[in-house]
Amino acid sequence: MLNKLEDLLEIVKKQKKRRLVVAAAADLHVIEAVGDAVKNNIVIPILVGNKKIIEEIAQKTGLDLKNIEIVDEQDDIKACETAVKYIRDNKADILMKGLVATAILLKAVLDKENGLRKNSILSHFTLIESPYYHKLFGITDAAMNIAPELQDKVSIINNAVDVVRGIGIKNPKVAILGPVELVNPKIESTVHADIIAQMNKRGEIKNCIIGGPLALDNAISKEACKIKKIESEVGGDADILVAPELNAGNILYKSLSFLGGAKTAAVVVGAKCPIVLTSRADSEFSKLYSIILSAAMLT
């Protein structure tokens, strides 16, 4: 069981250093995060972008570029395509977004001929360290899929399971969240949750234990399950929380981060490599550990 995000660093230390390629790398916050990862001996960076600006930022942040490859490319679209090609040609292991619109990067990732599409859907996974929970847990999807249909949710779950299995949780407990614990035909999330849980019992969704529908309190609190007389192998011990749609997932994730004292690390999964999409609002810790999470899941 992993209790703290710092535990991921111990996993990474046992692995070889991973090659991290950054698309449109001429960004202060990105260079700072990459510099932190280099200091921790986690990655070997490849920086694709405006070389002059990258060198200026590196000088400000103290990043030594002596042994770091820089690909001079000032066009954002070409920078993304070049970074994706490094992954496709097995010259890099992790892709990171720099100072470029997410849509531009994802267009390169999802290109049918030259992209990195692996699974049917890309999804966002956030690993959470909360002072009010007994172990690390994940939330999905908080950033990518607006209103996932039933089969989309199955793919999102499979993506999330791949992440946590990669960091050593071999049979994760997955809670499909909803506002209530009973199936209500008028509440689609409860219907989807029940169907997905049954699919898991039939062996159609493997390598995990799924429970749902479960309200948030029942997913994370054994005491709540006891009070409500809910018998669930997942209840009170969930490793992954699956939000019904983007609004709920995003609000839950940001509430934990900005009001709940949680630490976070996030990755986009479903492509041929982990994708780090940090925000300027993310803490330096979160940016660094998003890179560490991406490296840790590459066992």
pLDDT tens, position by position, 206-253? 999 999 999 999 999 999 999 999 999 999 999 999 999 999 999 999
Same domain, yes or no: 164 and 205: yes
Check which CATH number belongs to the domain holding 132 and give it.
3.40.718.10
Same domain, yes or no: 135 and 259: yes
Residue 110: inside a domain: yes
Same domain, yes or no: 249 and 199: yes
Confidence (pTM): 0.93
pLDDT score at 138: 98
pLDDT score at 237: 97
pLDDT score at 180: 93
Low-confidence stretches of the chain (pLDDT < 70) are none
Q: What is the distance between the alpha carbons of residues 25 and 46, in angstroms, rounded to a whole number? A: 9
pLDDT score at 284: 83
pLDDT score at 78: 97
pLDDT score at 282: 81
pLDDT score at 103: 92
pLDDT score at 63: 92
| Per-residue model confidence as pLDDT tens digits over 156-169 | 999 999 999 999 99
Instruction: Give residue 204's domain range.
Output: 123-263
The DSSP string of the chain is: ---STHHHHHHHHTSPPEEEEEET---HHHHHHHHHHHHTT-EEEEEEE-HHHHHHHHHHHT---TT-EEEE---HHHHHHHHHHHHHTTS-SEEEE-SS-HHHHHHHHH-TTTS-B-SS--EEEEEEE-TTSSS-EEEE-SSS-SS--HHHHHHHHHHHHHHHHHTT-SS-EEEEE-SSSS--TT-HHHHHHHHHHHHHHTTSS-SSEEEEEE-HHHHH-HHHHHHTT---SSTT--SEEE-SSHHHHHHHHHHHHHTS--EEEEEEESBSS-EE---TTS-HHHHHHHHHHHHHT--
Same domain, yes or no: 144 and 232: yes
pLDDT score at 269: 96
Q: How many domains does the chain have?
A: 2
pLDDT score at 207: 97
Same domain, yes or no: 44 and 84: yes
Alpha carbons within 13 A on the beta-carbon side of 282: 23
Residue 1: inside a domain: no
